[in-house]
Amino acid sequence: MSITVHATQWIHFQIKLHNLHSKTRSLKDQKLELPLPEFHQNLIIFTSAAHHGLTFGYQAIQWDTPYTSCPIYIEHQSIPWSTLEQRSHKHITEHITAIFLETMFYRQSQFKQCQFCFEFIIPESLFDHTTCQNCASRHFGVVY
């Protein structure tokens, strides 16, 4: 199953399960996360309900110290409740799915391929634009 089909099926299920189209019945202070290890172990896309509408984003890594990282959530796009209230259920589902997939493709586009190991790496774990941290240690003697 392709990553796009998997993500589409997942968001359709979440729309039905959590009534994502409805401000009153939607999630409250909860993030729905879709890990996509088919592409990369660190690719996690989320949606959540906020006061202003549905938000969509991805999980990234923030380095608090040179040795300690922690996951953070980056909001990429949102749909105001007023927009969702004006559309039919079918159009809402299509719109939510499109925004979710756009967010997923945006995050995927940020991954860079290491020139040595050829792995796709999140930008937060790169030594430079073409080298991952593991290969920087192996080839350049960088100590992390």
Chain segment 31-81, per-residue pLDDT in tens: 899 998 877 777 899 999 888 899 999 999 998 887 788 999 999 999 999
- pTM of the predicted structure, to 2 decimals: 0.86
- Residues sharing a CB contact under 8 Å with residue 100, sequence separation 6 or more, in sequence order: 7, 11, 45, 47, 56
Inform me whether the pLDDT recorded for 3 exceeds 70: yes
Exposed, middle or buried by CB within 10 Å (0-12, 13-18, 19+), for 49?
Answer: buried
Looking at the DSSP bridge assignments, the partners of residue 26 are none
**What mean pLDDT is predicted for residues 126-138?**
94
CA distance readout (Å), 131 to 14, 20, 109, 111, 128: 37, 40, 16, 12, 5
User: CB pairs under 8 A, 24+ apart, for 36-44?
Assistant: 36/3, 36/6, 36/7, 36/104, 38/3, 38/6, 39/3, 39/108, 39/111, 39/120, 40/111, 40/120, 40/122, 42/122, 42/125, 43/104, 43/107, 43/108, 43/111, 43/122
Range of lowest pLDDT (22-36, 43-57, 73-87, 123-137): 22-36
- Residues sharing a CB contact under 8 Å with residue 11, sequence separation 6 or more, in sequence order: 34, 47, 96, 97, 100
**What mean pLDDT is predicted for residues 84-89?**
87
